[in-house]
Structure formats: structure tokens, C-alpha cells
Structure 1
Amino acid sequence: MNPWTPTWQPQGTVYGTLLNFRREWDLWSPRMMQDPHKAAPKAPVLYVKTANTFSPAGQDLLLQDGVTEVDIGASLGLVIGRDGQVAGAALLNDWAVPHASYYRPPVKFRCRDGFLALPEQVTAGQVQDWAALQIAVRRNGDWVQTVDLRELMRDLPALLSDVGEFMTLQPGDVLMVGTDCLADGSRPRAKAGDRVEISAPGFDAVVTTVGGAA
């Protein structure tokens, strides 16, 4: 990375999407009928990654406040252009503190400092270019997960359309399509000393070393 070349950071709001992969949806379906909602969500379930989470390419993730491990959240972020259409996309690592509930705002789990690892640059393109994208996750060089966008509950056009039913995405905003779980419902995890790489054909990889608190 050229130290004189600025790396990409979102210029708007970053939104994450929950329960947008079939495996996790199926695992959670029985609980969707329980309190407090007693029904499956009819619209996309979104949350915000606040600006303090943005971690430029090449920056380590520091674990603090007693956190000893984090969930790896490989995702594709759709970047909104000036005309309100998708201008490009980027691989992202949507880190989270492991947690079991979706029924409360996940701020303390997802919005800690540095909890959104970014690539150097956005890849230009259109949503149809990434319909079958497969994102590889490696920890310390070993493969731990493949996130397959063919397994989305709402594919890219449907997600954009359904979000547009209740809010307008602004130029510079980023809409993440979601993160997938493993067969047991958990996500790959990383601890201090681990090196995590998220990659896919045609995209700048996201590489992060996890460090303990100073």
C-alpha cells in the first residue's frame, strides 16, 4: 500500500443486514414466533455501523474492555453513488462481540472502535456482477468459511428494493448484504494474534491482525 495514497472510507452511513442468509434464517425460524415479536420479520432487519467503527485498510483490531475474541463477519457492502444507484461494492469485515440475541439494538456488540475493517478501494460494477460471488474467509492462512451470495434470503436487487420501501439510501451510504453463520449457528472467531483475510475475485482483500489492548 502506497502511504501517500488515501484508502477508502465510507462517506455516508453504513447499514448492516441481519438474518439475510438461508442457513441462519432457518435456524432462527422457530424462535421468531416467540416473544417479543411472535412473527418472522417482513422487512429487512437493519442496524447501523457508526463512524467510530471504520478501520482503514492495514489497521489492526485492538481488543479492549475484557473482550477476548470476536466474530468474523465477512460481507459485501453496496456503495451508493450520486444518482442513488449502486456505484460499486467492497468487501468488509463486520466484526462483532459474540452474542446470542437479535431482539435488542446491537450497539455494544457491533459498534466498538475499529469494528468495521475496510479494503483499500471500492470495486466498480453493478449488482448483477456479484449475484454469485463467493467470499473466502481465512484465519492464519487456513480456510474457515465461504460466504456464498447465492444463499441470500433477499438477493441484491431484492434487498435494495425492499430497503427502498421504507428509507432512501443517500450518495456515499453503504448497505451490507449480511453475514453468514456456520452450520451450528456460530460464526468463525478470532482472538489476539490471529490474522484474518477476507477475499473474493475482483475485489481488494481485507486483511486484519487482531491485537490485545495496549
Structure 2
Amino acid sequence: MIENETIKSILSRRSIKIYKEDQVPEEALLTILEAAKFAPSGMGLQEWHFTAVQSKDALAALNEAAKHTLLSLPDDDTVSGPLKNQAKHFKNKPDFNFFYGAPTLVIVTSAKDPAVSSPASDCAAALENMFIAAQSLGVSSCWINLLTRMSEFPEIRKLFTKWGIPENERCYGCAALGFNGGPEKQAAPRREGTVILVK
């Protein structure tokens, strides 16, 4: 296998779920966000927004809104299975924090009903650029998906609106960013049989 600094960043990155309180420096954050903006997008439309939340009060409000929303979900077919499972997972955790206490959370949003672009794919590509850029700068990260199913709940939408996220957009994923506060993580073994070469 060929190795260079980019490949090393990809292969060494891990999803971190314990963070130090130290904030991501602004220059590093802006570099990570710039990398996100250079991800490929459908037809080159770049129909996304990156909302980086670093305020402790704002993050606490978002976490509390998510917790309250999860605990208030009706137990019927109006709620998707994945969201029900996440509610069960977090229900009895008094220290609930869906972004693991990271000091920065980047919320990636795009159009709810796009005419021609592919927002889920576009935002996923931007998130991956963020994770690789973060790793190259010594910043830890974790892909956070809870808000992808919660954009339209009133408590979440109220905060989105307050922070300037357009009303016609929904969340397609988030990046928790900070510095690892736990032990170094090792990569899980890679599954065999996932690569096919047709020559």
C-alpha cells in the first residue's frame, strides 16, 4: 500500500467519545470548515451550511432540547424505529450528552426537498473532509447522527432558527470536535471480502 500524510490521517482517525474541555483553536476550526467546503457536491451546487457551535450555553441548550424531545416521544408508529432505539439507549442515562461533551459541534444542513442535488451524499462528503482535516491537525472527532432525525421537532428547530440555520434545511449529520480525553483507541479489524476488483 502507498503511504503519504493524507493516507496516514485516514487510517489513524478514530471516533472519539471522551473529550477534554480544551476548545478547538479558531484557526484549526476554520481550516476544518474550509476543507468541508471543498468536498464534492452534486452538480457543484454546494447547497450546504456548516454551523459550528462552541458556546457552552448553546451546546447545553441543544443537549437539553434533544434529551427532552427523546423522552417526550410518543410510543406509536409516528416515530421511526431508529429514533425509538436511540431514545431507549439514552433514556436511563442521567449524564446524557449526545455529542459526548465535545467542546465544538458542527451541524451540517442542506435542503429538505432539493430539486436537483443530493444533500445526504453532499453533506456526508463534507463531513468526511472535516474528519480527515481534523485528524491531520491533531483534533479528535466523532460522527454524530442523532439530529438527522430530529430537525423538525419544535425544540430543536427553535435553536436552529436562533442560530441562523435556514428554515428550508434539515440536518444531515454533525461533527463533534475536540481533543481526546481518554485512552488511545485502536482500529477494529477491517471486514474481509468488501473489495471487488474488475479488470
Interval containing the TM-score (normalised by the shorter chain): under 0.3
TM-score when scaled to structure 2?
Answer: 0.27
Higher RCO (Cα < 8 Å, 6 or more apart) = 2
More strand by share: 1
TM-score when scaled to structure 1?
Answer: 0.26
More helix by share: 2
